[in-house]
Each structure stands twice: as C-alpha cells, then as structure tokens.
Amino acid sequence: MSRPRLIALLLALATLLVYLPVTHFSFLNYDDDDYVTNNHEVQNGLTWAGVKWAFTTVHASNWHPLTWLSHMADCEWFGLNPGAHHFVNALGHAANAALLFVLLLRLTNALWPAALVAALFAWHPLHVESVAWIAERKDVLSTLFALLTLLSYTRYAQSVTSGKWQGASDGQDASPATRHPAPDYGCALIFFALGLMAKPMLVTLPLVMLLLDYWPLQRVAGCRLQVEGSPTPNRQTSKFNSLALEKWPFFLLTLISCAVTFFAQRNGDSVVSLQKVSLHYRLENVAVAYAGYLKKIFWPDQLSVIYPMPETISLPAVAGAVAGLMLITAAAWLWCKRAPYLGVGWLWFSGMLVPVIGLVQVGGAAMADRYTYLPAVGIFIAVTFGARALAERWQWPKPVPVAAAVLVLGACLILTERQLSYWRDSETLFTHALAVTKNNDIAHVNLGVALEQAGKTTEALAEYREAARLEPTRFQVHNNLGNLLDALGQPDTALAEYREAIRLNPKEPFLQDSLGSVLVELGSIDEAMNAFTNAMRLDPTYPWAHFQMAKALLKQGRDAEAIGEFRAALRLDPENFQMLAYIAHVLAAEENPQIRDGRTALVLAIKANTLTGGNQPYVLDALGMACAETGDFTNATAVTQQALDLASAAKMKKTGPIQQRLELYKNHQPWRESFLATNTAAAIHP
C-alpha cells in the first residue's frame, strides 16, 4: 500500500474510533423527531411512495430528497436503533476526512499539509454537531458530494491545463494525463446536483472552484485582474471571465437551488421577516457572527447546540468585528501573490458562510457550529500552508512543526471527546447549552421536553415557565405548558395556555386539536367540536382532529359517528400505530354489539404490533382484546401476558386492568367496557 493510501485509511479509521461513542447515543428531541422518530414516511423505509414523497415534500422547511432517502435507508436496514443511525453519520464523516485528504493531495502534491488539514477537519470539536446529531445527516452527506464534485473538477481542470489529452489516439489507453476531460466535468456537475439535493448550503461551491483555479490549479496568472507592466493588461480579466463562463451549468444549478430553498423555507414559515429582525440588526450580526466563527475555530470553547440572538449588539463588538475582518481581508489581498493560499483559504471560509450568515434569517439562532463543517476547511488550509511556509523560510528544525501539529491535533481530540459527551441525550445536551449561553429560551423548552419525557414533571414545568418568561410570544412554549398542566390534572390552567398559543398562532391545526381535547375533559363538548372542526379546516390532511373528535363522540355515546371519524383518521394516516391500537381497542371491547368488530380489530392490532416490533405493552394489550373477541383465547392470554411483562419491566403504573383482562382470557371470557363511562367528564353534557 502506498503512503497516501495508508494515510487516508488510518485517518478514516482514527476518525471512526474518535466518534465510536455515538453508537450508544439516543435520538434527540430537537429535529430528530421531524427527521426520523415522528416521521412515518421515513420510518416506512425505502418505498416508491417514500421516494415520491422525498422528491416532492418541503417538510422541515427544506427540499433535500437525498437526505430523506438516506434516513429512509437507515430505517429500512436498522429500524429505530439510534446507535446505527449515529454510526452512519460517523462513517460519512470518516469518508469525508479521507476524501478531503485525497483532494488536497491531488491539488497541491503536499502530503503532510494535506494530511494535517484533513485531520483538523476530522477531529475539530466544532464539527461534533454535524456528526453527533442525526438530523444533521444533511451536513455530512452534502459534504461527501461536495468533495466528490471538487475531486472530479480537479481532474477535469488538470486535464485541460495539461492539454495532453488532445494527443490521445483512438484505441489508446487513457492515462490520468491523457484521458478526455468531458467525463470528469460531467461527473462534477452530477455530484454537485446530488450535493444540492442533500443540503442547499453548497450553492457557493462554484465560487470555490474559481478559487481553486487561482490556487493551486494556477489557471489564472496573478492575483489581480490587471497586473502592472503586463503587455496585455486585460489578459487576466479575459481568462477569469472564460473560467466563470466555463462553470455556467453549476451557476444555473445554484440559482435553481436558491429559488427552491427560499420557497421551501418561506412555505414552512421559517424565514424571519424584516419586521421581526431588522436589516440593520442583521448586518451587525453578520460581522459579529464571522468573528465568532473565527474565534471558535481557533479557540473552541463553550460550544452550544443553540446560540440565541441577543436583543441588542453593542457598538464596540460590531466595530471590533468589522475592523478585524477588514484587516484579515486586506492582509489576504496584499499577500495573495506571495502566499495565495491565504486569500483562497479566507475566501473559501467567508464565501461558503454567506448563505447562512444571517442576511436571510431562518429560525432564531445567531450562529450555529454545524455551519462551519465545510467552510472551516478554508481556514485550515490557510493556517497549515502558512505555517509550512514560515517553517521553510525560518528553517525551523523538522521536530518543531511536527511537535506543534501533534499538540494541536491532541488538543482537538481531547476537546472533541469532551464535546461529544454532551450529545449523548437531550437532557445532557440542553443542560450544557444553558450552562454556556444566556437567555436561551429554545434550550429551556427542549430541556423541558426531555425532563417531561423522563417523568421529571416538576423540573419540566419550571423550564417551560422560564422559556415563557424569556420569550412570551413563542406559541410552542404555551402549548407545551398546556400539555403538561393537563397531564398533571390542571385542565383549567391548561386551557388558558392553549388559548394563548392559538392567539399567537391561529394557523396551527394541532393547537386547535389540543384545545378541543382539554375542552372535552371540561365538558364543553360543543366548543370542543368547533375546535376539532377548525383543525380540519386549517389542514384537511391532519388526522388527529378526526381521531380526537371520534373519542369525544364515544364519550357522548354517538358510537356510529365516532367509527366514521376513526376511519377518516386512518385514511389520512394508515401507518399510525397509536391510532391503530386505540381503534382496535374500541372495536374489540365496546359494549355496544353493533359497533364491535373483532376481525377488523384483529387486523388493526396486528398491523400496529408489526409497526412497533412487538414491544409496546398497550399495542399488545389491544391485540389481546382483539384475539379474545374473535375467540382465540390462547393467543389472547399469551400476548396479554407479554404486555404485562413489558409494562412491569418498564415500571409502568396502572397495570391492574391488564391483569384483570388476563384473568378473563384464561376463563375464556372477552373484555367489555363502556367508553362513555371510562371518563367521568364525558358524562357531563352542556
């Protein structure tokens, strides 16, 4: 094995080893639900319907079909095993590190600088977010295609520059120096299109190609468009124009991607208007964000999953950031002829950040670590090749730069391992975010969700209330407060929170659904029905409004109408195991014989059990009811015992009814219940 191949292999293996702890991490409650855990299209795996959905949806305010397909493939192969999903991210990151090394080696023929840049990319703590967060698969995947694009483009450019391919005769074996460049150009264009379909942040990649034309490909002579003393003063201008024109298909794809992305984010209400965040504030934040990214590259301390936007940005902070950026830009320009890697590295970094620097505000964050995943390579290039030039000029003994590189990489590894530990679960991640940031309402909300899921309701309530204090206009906080207060037996207080959430955002169907549910508890049936109807009007494809209306109808004894609404809910979401299990429960156990339908209940329960892998106690309980209703008491007893065992192992409360049903099945008796009587609130009529 040649030395470069060995280095690439060792780099990839070492990177995998560094990120091996992610195989024990869980899904997060931040975006992972949108992308995997609550996304039925993704959980169904690779299907023709799923492929169609991936290419036509703007779910999560993005159009990135390849990202959806990659998550579908994970679910197809690994189900909902979070460790496997994480490991795929780590594999992609390791592959990216090896590809970056190969790219830089081909561009510069500098073995150890290329290896150092790739190692910095692989082990820098700023990149933990992109790898340890399942929802950021789009970062890793798009970068994979970006590097393949640049590799193909480099082969094309080197073939064109050498011109030797023109001498290859028909039938002659094509070596790297003689092969025709057109296939490489075509591959670069295809990889670029695939990268944009994984994450549209790659729209600036054609500009990176132009930078590489200047250095190290040296397809443009001189650092300025006009060089003093040149006998043909417009030669560089003409050459630059021809290189830009050469890339017109790439720029066309960029324009298309920008349009599609803006439509997707505007359609998903993710684009923040100028009324909410002024242009003046955005420009101030641009300078401060650039400076912040640079600081975190060189001093990666207090990294957070969320950096909230401050209410105001101080004038000294803006002035200092602007002055620093202008100084760096001026130095890169002045030294571009002597040290072209400085200008290329700086423009790579600053240019690739333009789509996410905040001129178009998406969400409420001032900056994000994940945005540096590929842009930071520019800084790594500038620093590494700059350090090599200094070492050669000052004739440093070889052990000195080697020792410096080892110390830097060692520090990166230590900090990466520490940063990685914060990503093991939602509670740890958002607790850390609150420790290193101020006034972080989003972190309070997500920590509250994590605490609530862990059964720590008192702590969760405190986090939600703190989030509401920091940002009282965030409707999600009031909805979460309503859900938790309702679960704690405070429906009156929950009702006020739901009404406030709807006042802040009257267009969300799930808020109307939540309002209707708590109104049913309080006995305001007519008002609840209006809320469910409003939810259906806002989104005719929203299944939960039909489902909750059906439950309300059951409480009133309007069983036939309820069954009709249950069927409507299943038509809209036929793979929802929660609905399937509950409806199976109703059809198997309803006291009204005209409503009972054991065979249909059995079909629904079997489907729900298949979707959940046979490990959900309440699904198995419903399956037991359906088996008993069809006279299969042997299987009814077996699956109900399994449900009881799982519930006991999970330390679930209220397992008494399951035990009662089990005793009935042993005596060859089915379970019967009145859904009108199961909730006393249902007996209250307006």
- The enclosing domain of 644 has a CATH number of 1.25.40.10
Query: Which pLDDT score is estimated for 641?
Result: 96
Mean pLDDT computed over 404-429: 97
Percent over 90 (pLDDT), the chain = 80
Domain annotation covers residue 332: yes
pLDDT at residue 222 greater than cutoff 60: no
Contact of 570 with 583, CB cutoff 8 Å: yes
pLDDT of residue 229: 38
Residue appearing with tokens 């929203």: 542
- The 10s digit of each residue's pLDDT in 495-526 is 999 999 999 999 999 999 999 999 999 999 99
Residue 519 lies in a domain: no
Measured distance CA(577)–CA(584) in Å, rounded: 10
Higher pLDDT, 558 or 274: 558
Distance CA 670, CA 629 (A): 6
In a domain, 330, yes or no: yes
Dihedral sign, Cα of residue 352, residue 354, residue 358, residue 360: negative
For the stretch 614-668, pLDDT in tens is 989 999 999 999 999 999 999 999 999 999 999 988 888 788 899 999 999 999 9
Residue 177, pLDDT > 50, answer no
Domain total of the chain: 2
Boundary-marking domain end, from 421, 455, 488 = 421
Pick from 76-90, 214-228, 308-322, 421-435: least confident = 214-228
Instruction: Check residues 65 and 263 and name the one with the higher pLDDT.
Output: 65
Last residue of a domain, one of 421, 440, 469: 421
Of 392, 421, 450, which residue constitutes the final position of a domain?
A: 421
Question: pLDDT at position 677, please?
Answer: 45
Question: Given pLDDT bands bounded at 50, 70 and 90, which one contains residue 172?
Answer: very low
Which amino acid appears at position 590 of this protein? Answer: E
pLDDT tens across 588-621, in order?
A: 999 999 999 999 999 999 999 998 889 899 999 9
Q: Is the pLDDT of residue 432 over 60?
A: yes
What pLDDT is stored for residue 278 in this prediction? 74
The residues near 407 (Cβ < 8 Å, ≥ 6 apart) are none
Is 475 within the bounds of a domain? no
Residue 562 has pLDDT above 70, yes or no: yes
Q: What is the mean pLDDT of residues 263-284?
A: 73
Structure tokens at 473: 């206009």
Confidence band (pLDDT; 50, 70, 90) for 310? confident
Which domain covers residue 347, as residue numbers?
Answer: 3-164+178-224+239-421
> Is the pTM above the cut of 0.95?
no
Predicted pLDDT at 173? 45
The pLDDT value given to residue 317: 93
Report the pLDDT value the prediction gives residue 221, as an integer from 0 to 100. 66
Lowest-confidence segment of 90-94, 235-239, 260-264, 292-296 by average pLDDT: 235-239
pLDDT at residue 270, rounded to an integer? 62
pLDDT of residue 231: 43
Q: Would 169 be classed as within a structural domain? A: no
| Residue 340 resides in a domain | yes
| 86, two tokens | 């994480």
Residue 609, domain member (yes or no): yes
If you write DSSP's letter for every residue of 397-455 in order, what string do you get?
-THHHHHHHHHHHHHHHHHHHHHHHTTSSHHHHHHHHHHHSSS-HHHHHHHHHHHHHTT
Quickly state the pLDDT bin for 230 (edges 50, 70, 90): very low
User: What is the rounded distance in angstroms from the CA atom of residue 37 to the CA atom of residue 540?
Assistant: 23
Q: Higher pLDDT residue, 685 or 276? A: 276
Over range 137-150, report the average pLDDT.
98
Q: What would the pLDDT profile of 461-507 be if each residue is shown by its tens digit? A: 999 999 999 999 999 999 999 999 999 999 999 999 999 999 999 99
What is the pLDDT confidence band of residue 226, given thresholds at 50, 70 and 90?
A: very low
Instruction: Record the tokens describing residue 167, joined without a space.
Output: 């001498």
User: What mean pLDDT value characterizes the chain?
Assistant: 91
What pLDDT, on a 0 to 100 scale, did the predictor assign at position 236?
A: 64
Q: What tokens were used for 405? A: 């590189």
* Pairing state between β 307-308 and 365-367: antiparallel
Q: Does the pLDDT at position 679 exceed 60? A: no
Average pLDDT in the 668-681 region? 75
The secondary structure of residue 225, as a DSSP letter, is: S
Q: Is residue 358 part of a domain?
A: yes
**CA separation for the pair 352, 433 (Å, rounded):** 26
